[in-house]
A and B are shown apart, each in its own frame.
Chain A
Amino acid sequence: MSLALLIEWSLKSVVIILVILGGFAYLTLFERRVLARMQTRIGPNRAGPWGLLQPVADGVKLIFNEELIPAQADKVLFLLAPVITVVPALILLAVIPFGPEVTLFGRSYYLGLASNVNVGVLYILAVSSIAVYGIVIAGWASGNKYALLGGVRSTAQMVSYELALALAFVGPIMLAGSMSVDAIIEGQRHLWYVILQPLGFLIFLIAAVAEINRAPFDMPEAEQELVAGYHAEYSGMKFALFFMAEYGKMIAVSFIAATMFLGGYLGPFIDRWPLLGPIYLFIKVVALLFFIVWLRATFPRFRYDQLMAFGWKILLPLGLLNVVVTGVIIVLVGG
């Protein structure tokens, strides 16, 4: 492997991680401002113009918080859990391409890290299935009943909705005839898969919101019943890491939805100006993030039994049905 290639890959990795970290900081502000508008409040607008320095202020405040480890806690796992939670959120984007091949300074670059691997979609599923561990371990290691309940609940929830999530991926995979993310985007050149797979897109959105524990599926941290769920005992930067994981996953899920169903970086004039790719992708991702925040402002939280019944009795059969119908139509039309 040549040095230039090594530098290129390291730079790409750093950029992807910066996208998630910077996105996390400003997504919190975005969410608070949007929620405030929807609830006819003003929201944070004191720190800097339009409150733009609010994430910085929040970060500084969290750094100066006291780091507390409960006496009942299992120390090693208690410290490890936030790390295990954050890492999957940071590496999920590795298989998402940010744009087509561009030529800069006489060399051509792929705007993505590993978007052409032939197991790209499975990689997304594998990484998101590892993300469960951080929350479970945090709940157990805290040595607190509420935290444990929150952790156990979220395990059940995430394992259940992972199935529906995987089934929603099968539609685009069958249409593109490949598990490579590049091929799936290329298959959407003429028509986005959201039009061919409306049910699949709906299942994906619902399952994804449940998988990242966002409202109305934010069971693990239902504050009325569980104090704060799995992160009740965490403070300071360790709490910030859980927060970062949640928003990082929100961003990653929006990128994945935009790529699998909304044509990814594709848009008008993309062939003439390839650098428009990241801009199109950014617009789609922000629209999806707005949608997720909007959901939080609109729906009350599900009850736990409703959540499980919905996942297993409605979402999973619908996902299977979608796979069968898509398969039959592909065979009939001659794919």
Chain B
Amino acid sequence: MTIDLVLFFGLALIAVVAAIAMIASRNAVYSALFLVFNFLTVATLYLLLNAAFIAVVQVTVYAGAIMVLFLFVIMLLGTERESIGGRIRWQMPLSIVLGLALAGELAYVLLRNDIVQGPLADLTVEFGSPASIGRVLFNEYLVPFEVTSILLLVAMIGAIVITRKQREEGK
């Protein structure tokens, strides 16, 4: 238990620092790499929670696929230096309001006290295994799963259509 706690706080600290560094860094390439680092720490947190499948998927999909594409676009466009002048004026007050709202909600949920209900139940061997996740995903949550896949398909087709139109105009 204590080792888990030490690990958790160490990882949490790293994750928060990486997240802040991602926002604070002036160079878009560094920002992207800090975000990758953050994803890797979060994946380790999943491992601590006995959710190996989620952890590995987190690394493969977010750190391995999506962020590589981000980095790819940043490097290809050569926009790694942030322009300091072009900020939107109403961004700052809005972000403060939204941030305070989020903090308030988090505090309310935590203080309501029904999340912390003593020690967690013992995990079964099957917990978090690919087979058990697949069973739940394709039985109980089949409709949301299919809707999500259609959404992704539509987004993909949309991206292809948009780039295609530009190419024709370019000719």
Interface residues in chain A, defined as those with a beta carbon under 8 Å from any beta carbon in chain B: 77, 117-119, 122-123, 125-127, 129-130, 132-133, 136-137, 139-140, 148, 151-152, 155-156, 159, 162, 178-179
Contact = CB atoms under 8 A, between A and B. Distances in A.
Given A126-B56, A155-B68, A140 B130 contact: no
Shortest 4 CB-CB distances between A and B: which pairs?
A129-B64, A126-B59, A122-B56, A126-B60
Contacts of B68: 129, 132-133, 136, 155, 159
A238 to B, nearest CB: 19
Interface string B141-167: 000000000000000000000000000
Contacts of A140: 29, 75
A286 B146 CA distance: 44
B76 interface: yes
B19 interface: no
Given A122-B56, A122-B57, A123-B56, A129 B75 contact: no
Interface in B51-106: 52-53, 56-57, 59-60, 63-65, 68-69, 71-72, 75-76
Given A122-B53, A179-B130, A130 B76 contact: no
Contacts of B130: 118-119, 122, 179
A117 B55 CA distance: 13
Given A129-B64, A152-B76, A118 B71 contact: no
Contact of B72 (A77, A136, A178): A136
A80 to B, nearest CB: 9
A269 B59 CA distance: 39
A127 B75 CA distance: 23
